């Protein structure tokens, strides 16, 4: 197998955003990850204050501008979020596939955003709000490592074997 095709156990960060919580979708969203054999190794609920929001979205303003950052920050600070660290083979790509495109109207049916979210990019611009797309998922290995470290102390991450791991190892 080529080196770029090696499947490795990874950890990634997922945030259930305030819109997921106010709509009561937390359990349904988490079950999608567990159904895909991703293991929850860290979980917490947190309100993102201004300082923490700036740390999490440290480069958003530079990449997409102050307006996008401000809309995103306001959206993320309107309610608590549930932060998860998920672990599994190719966890980052698997989570991204389960979540779907950033813009829900572009996300395929069968993805979290395609099935449960409704806002388009044009719709968010029209109402002057951030895209309500239910979840955040780390985009790559570097981002995942940085985000997991920001959100969780080492003693908040847990090692254990799932039933599937017990029977396959």
Cα–Cα distance, 86 to 65 (Å, whole number): 30
Catalytic residue among 7, 56, 118, 136: 136
Instruction: List Cβ neighbours of 84 (8 Å cut-off, separation of 6 or more).
Output: 13, 14, 15, 16, 30, 33, 40, 42, 43
In the numeric block, which tokens belong to residue 25?
Answer: 């979708």
Do 96 and 88 touch, CB atoms closer than 8 A?
no
For residue 56, indicate whether it is catalytic: no
In the numeric block, which tokens belong to residue 118?
Answer: 């409704």
- Indicate which residues carry an active-site annotation: 136
């Amino acid at each position: 197998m080529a080196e770029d095709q090696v499947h490795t156990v990874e950890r990634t960060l997922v945030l259930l955003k305030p819109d997921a919580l106010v709509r009561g979708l937390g359990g349904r969203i988490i079950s999608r990850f567990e159904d895909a054999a991703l293991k929850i190794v860290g979980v917490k609920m947190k309100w993102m204050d201004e300082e923490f929001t700036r740390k999490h979205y440290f480069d958003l303003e530079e990449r997409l501008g102050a307006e996008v950052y401000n809309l995103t920050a306001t959206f993320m600070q309107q309610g608590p979020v549930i932060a998860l660290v998920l672990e599994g083979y190719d966890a980052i790509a698997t989570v991204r596939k389960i979540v779907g495109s950033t813009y829900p109207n572009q996300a395929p049916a069968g993805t979290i955003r395609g099935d449960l979210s409704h806002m388009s990019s044009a719709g968010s611009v029209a109402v002057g709000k951030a895209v309500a797309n239910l979840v955040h998922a780390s985009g790559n290995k570097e981002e995942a490592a940085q985000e997991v470290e920001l959100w969780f102390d080492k003693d908040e991450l847990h090692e254990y074997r799932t039933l599937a791991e017990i029977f396959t190892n």
